[in-house]
A = this chain, B = another copy of it.
Amino acid sequence: MPQGKPENVPDDGLTTRQRRNRPLLIVHTGEMKGKSTAAFGLALRGWNQGWSIGVFQFVKSARWKVGEEVALLALGEVHRDTGRGGPVEWHKMGSGWSWSRRPGTEVDHAEAAREGWREIARRLGEQRHTLYVLDEFTYPLKWGWVDTTEVVETLVARPGNQHVVITGRDAPEALVEAADLVARMTKVKHPMDTGAKGQKGIEW
C-alpha cells in the first residue's frame, strides 16, 4: 500500500492527523524467516525519523543475530556523533540483561524473561522509546514464563505514541486480537529443506 490509502474511512470522529499518528502494536508471526529481519528493517525507518529505538531480544543465545545488532548500534553511534537519526539501545537476555548482569548466579531463563518484561513495562510507562522491538517475545508468552494477559493489558494501556513490534512463532491469540497489524511469514521454499546449511550474512 505505497500510497497509504485506507480501504475504509471510519466514522470515529478522528482527524486524519490523529488517525495517522496512531501508536501501533505490530506482530510478526509464522514459521518463516523474515519476522525479526522485517522488525529490524522497521527500526531503520524509525531511526531515520529520529525515534528512540529499544530492541529487547528474548533469546538464550543471541550470537546468530549479531549482524543487525552491530549495524543498528552503528546507526546509534552516527546519531550520537552527528545528531542524525535517533538513538538505539540493544538489550539481549542471553545469560542476563545488560542492566542487571549478575555474574555467578545460576541463570533462570523464565525469571530473566519476566525481568525483561518488567523493564519494558517500566519504559513504556516512562515513554522511554518510540519504537520497541520485542524480538522472539512470543516464546516466553507461549511457555507461560510471562503472563500474556498482563502483557496485553500493559500494551493496550501504554501512554503516548509508542510503537511496539513483537516477533516469534505461535503468537498467543490474545496478542493477535490486541494487535493493530499482524503479518504472518509463511514458507514457500527454504534451502535447508534440501540440505543447505545456514550461512553468515543470511541467517545471522
Contact = CB atoms under 8 A, between A and B. Distances in A.
Interface string A101-140: 0000000000000000000000000000011000000000
A72 B194 CA distance: 32
B78 A74 contact: yes
A67 B49 contact: yes
A85 B204 CA distance: 14
Interface in A14-67: 16, 19-22, 24, 27-30, 32-34, 36-42, 44-49, 51, 59, 61, 64, 66-67
Given A24-B202, A49-B201, A59 B2 contact: yes
Contacts of A42: 37, 202
Contacts of A64: 2, 4
23 contacts: A1-B192, A4-B64, A4-B203, A6-B197, A22-B191, A22-B196, A24-B202, A30-B186, A33-B181, A34-B38, A34-B41, A39-B41, A40-B44, A42-B202, A47-B71, A49-B200, A71-B75, A130-B201, A131-B201, A180-B191, A181-B189, A183-B185, A183-B186
Instruction: Give 6 closest A-B pairs by Cβ, nearest first.
Output: A4-B198, A45-B67, A37-B41, A182-B188, A10-B195, A41-B41
